Amino acid sequence: MSSSNLSFKDKVVVITGAGGGLGKVYALEYAKRGANLVINDLGGTLTGSGHDSRAADIVVNEINSKYSKMGAKAVPNYDSVNSDGENIIKTAIDNFGRIDILINNAGILRDSSFVKMTPEHFHSVIDVHLNGAYKLSRAAWPYMRKQKFGRIINTASPAGLFGNFGQANYSAAKLGLVGLGETLAKEGYNYNIMVNSIAPLARSRMTENVLPPHILKQLGPEKIAPLVLFLTHDETKVTNSIFELAAGFYGQIRWERSSGQIFNPSSENYFTPEAILNKWSEITTFDDKPFNKTQHPMQLSDYNDLISKAKKLPVENDQGSIKINSIKGKVVIVTGAGGGLGKSHAIWFAKYGANVLVNDIRDPNTVVNEINKLYGEGTAMPDSHDVVTQAQFIIDNALKQFGHIDILVNNAGILRDRSFLKMKDDEWNSVIKVHLYSTFAMCKAVWPVFLKQKSGGSIINTTSTSGIYGNFGQANYAAAKAAILGFSRTIAIEGFKKNIIVNIIAPHAETAMTKSIFGEKELANHFDVSQVSPFVVLLASKELQDVNSKKGGVKGQLFEVGGGWCGQTRWQRSGGFVSTEQDITPELLKAHWNEVTNFKSGTVTVGSTEGSSMAILQAVQKAQMSKISSTASHDDNESSSSSNGSTTFNYTEKDCILYNLGLGSTRNELKYVYENDPNFQVLPTFAVIPFMKSSMESFNMDQLVENFNFTMLLHGEQYFKLPKLPLPTSGKLKTVSEPLQVIDKNGKAAVIVGGYKTYDTKTNKLLAYNEGTYFIRGAHVPKEKQKLDPSVRSKFAIQKFQSPTNKSPDFEIEVTTSEDQAALYRLSGDFNPLHIDPFVAKSIKFPKPILHGLCTMGISAKQLYEKFGAYDELKVRFSSVVFPGDKLKIKAWKQPNGIVIFQTIDSNTNQVVLDNAAIKLTNPTSKL
């Protein structure tokens, strides 16, 4: 091993679930670098049943036989992580005398839709993933503190970060691990204990039955191990961080909190749901404001500063024009409502006309009497059942008292704060049960009620800033609250189509629970519980969903609220680093660490497991395409791309034939398919091929716009001009590109127009000029980055070509595409899997792969070329998709000055697929 390689000689590593998959790969990689290892594996099935020591033994034997010369030694352990976690750490101490690195990797799956998920399925997954990681970490902690060195990796998942259908238990456990990790990172920092979380999408027993083989091939666990090794090396000081990784992509993910909106909270008459709704867009806009900035925090907001500024505003907050009437007549259950936030929520719902079941295990009657005195007898009813063990009784009581249920607010909770070194198992377990298990139990019990109702229902679950960011002395509370967030995001996905709306709040208020941890400033500012409840009422309202209906409603969202301030919190991912190398090493990641953690450009706002996974795979695919293109066009030791925004493109007669075949040319058209034909030529639309390559490599779109996501990119329009015809059938070309326009579309999308000049490198003459227009959903362009000048565009490119509705076409033809058309066309340079891979297509909601828009354009333009002759300008708008095998109907109308307007319709779907389209003939009179 080179001295520059990261060595783990004499380090003691404990890996749970190391009998296969990720855990086994980790173990072998550590062994290659001289580590001593405890290989833990219960040897059970994927669902956690059974026990077999062979899995661990096989790995141990392989390490001891292959890597003992490197100084590595391995011992097995067969204990269960959740019931006997201490014994796993004891195995390390007994055999090696210390524990340096802990990889919490063991896991099981018990996937099912939430309506079918049993408490046993929920608890078993929490036990193995979350409680197991607690047990191991707690047992290792004293040794790591004493030796002032430790490295812990918690294995999260995209399902935990974003939620995922059918994985409410898994999502809860995996985000709970993040909350635990964030807290341990804060408590361990002064002792050189670095704690991080990874969210891998890797090939393992858990994914092999979910993803197709060709995708799995890219997701080998060997691409995950390098990051784990880098993060756990003694030279690495990275801590309290989360990373998403797969298939050679490595990116950091962090919280992003909006600047939000402040309201004067002094008067309950004016700090209302209506006032908050009136400023909703300000709450969810991630722009800096005079009173606050958009932040990427590791702790809660500066509420003392925010409430001070809020109280300087006029007391009479603007109430707007929309009155919240939808709460009237609704039935609301509020747990833990005997005091504090729960009591305040109950009173506010009653104030807006709701009937309230006040649940509290101690004394619900005092609050019930207060509400009934204010709003009428029978408005509120008491319930004293235990939220953990008697959730169904609470639901049955509400139905008995009021006949239906519309809103559930899960608020009940306890604190058992303790430094992790001193934390007892019962303190951990009690907090997990009261917060997480009760939230599951209550949601599970009310779910069938909501499903039966046409009106559905609303659930507001309570997390905490400790759960979002971690907090010293609250490992149990942070884990439970983070788990609630992960759980809520999954049931929000499952419930939305059934009109069950789920959202999450992280309140900041002075209660009996928080008073002991509030400082003097917080107590002086008196963060009243009534400063949170108006937001909760608004979240449960129909009016909020109506206002946001064009954006898909408000569901599965996280909000921080308190002291007159309301803000939204979401995930943001770095641009990341992609390696297309077969063998990726920790040393490679070390060399590219600034790219892994780069948030200065290329950041992505990700909101779903599907979107995250597709964005990662697209980034990898883009890197692979770039590598393929670079290799294919490498000539005379000259690179295919350069730092000045230009790319080179080499082609021969073979490429021309392949392109012509991709547009439907046949063996009967020798001028398109036979290089020795005296009229051999390439179709004019070949001009887009060098552009197509350049558009992927020339300028970085992710640097032009904020929140760029490759999966959200649509090719909207295409234009080209040919200075001279015909195009040569071979050559070496250079394309120089620049962004012409960068436009923000009301903060909801961005438009980028690129200009591409393609030259013959021998003559330096311009062969083609292209303009491509791209629409990126969800992206945003700051004012300083916008380019708006339309004068830089070609006039033909921005001219509108409306298909005549009062005139029959001068030319009409129907062409049947081949079912293999997309497979053939992509060989001309665009290797986007969307055009060949059924899995990728379905991930983007297409039933099967689609035809490239430029292929549809080329097929249509070929027919126009045959009918009208040569043209030197073409412009189209892509308005819908075409599936290979569909019939295309091309209609054309002759216009003055050699212009032919055309439109292409997919006869199978009756959708216009090319519109606002025209060609300009080089000889206007010949065929017109």
Contacts of 590 (CB under 8 A, 6+ apart): 6, 230
Contacts of 905 (CB under 8 A, 6+ apart): 888, 889, 891, 911, 912, 913
Residue 170 annotated in active site: yes
Residue 222: C-alpha distances to residues 23, 201, 248, 585 (Å): 10, 12, 9, 9
Residue appearing with tokens 């039933």: 847
Contacts of 278 (CB under 8 A, 6+ apart): 317, 318, 319, 320, 321, 322
* Separation between Cα atoms, residue 75 and residue 81, nearest integer Å: 16
Which of 379, 490, 478 lies closest to 436 in space, CA to CA? 478
* Separation between Cα atoms, residue 113 and residue 364, nearest integer Å: 34
Can you give 404-430 as a three-state secondary structure string? CCCEEEECCCCCCCECCCCCCHHHHHH
Characterise 585 by phi-psi region: left (phi > 0), alpha (psi -120 to 50), beta (else). beta
Q: Which residue type, as a one-letter code, is found at position 449? A: V
Which of 283, 7, 14 lies closest to 143 in space, CA to CA? 14
* Separation between Cα atoms, residue 799 and residue 769, nearest integer Å: 17
Among residues 24, 73, 135, 174, which one is catalytic? 174
Residue 376, classed as helix, strand or coil, is coil
**Cis link prior to 364 (omega < 30° from 0)?**
no
Which of 912, 644, 615 lies closest to 776 in space, CA to CA? 615
Contacts of 760 (CB under 8 A, 6+ apart): 728, 731, 732, 733, 767
* Separation between Cα atoms, residue 628 and residue 831, nearest integer Å: 9
* Separation between Cα atoms, residue 773 and residue 751, nearest integer Å: 7
Residue 774 annotated in active site: no
Residues facing residue 244 across a β-bridge: 199, 251
Helix, strand, coil percentages, rounded to 5, for the chain = 40, 20, 40
Residue 759, classed as helix, strand or coil, is strand
* Separation between Cα atoms, residue 618 and residue 296, nearest integer Å: 25
Residue 485: C-alpha distances to residues 417, 488, 502, 922 (Å): 20, 5, 10, 63
* Separation between Cα atoms, residue 830 and residue 731, nearest integer Å: 19
Among residues 26, 170, 756, 825, which one is catalytic? 170
* Separation between Cα atoms, residue 643 and residue 500, nearest integer Å: 51
Q: 561, 376 in Cβ contact below 8 A?
A: no
Residue 536, classed as helix, strand or coil, is helix
Helix (H) or strand (E) holding 491: helix 475-496
Residue 755, classed as helix, strand or coil, is strand
Helix (H) or strand (E) holding 98: none
Task: For residue 292, report the phi and psi dihedrals to the nearest 5 degrees.
Answer: -165, 155
Residues facing residue 503 across a β-bridge: 460
Other residues' Cβ atoms within 10 Å of the Cβ of residue 762: 9
Residue 919, classed as helix, strand or coil, is strand
Residue 121, classed as helix, strand or coil, is helix
Residue 827, classed as helix, strand or coil, is helix
Any idea which residues carry the catalytic annotation? 170, 174
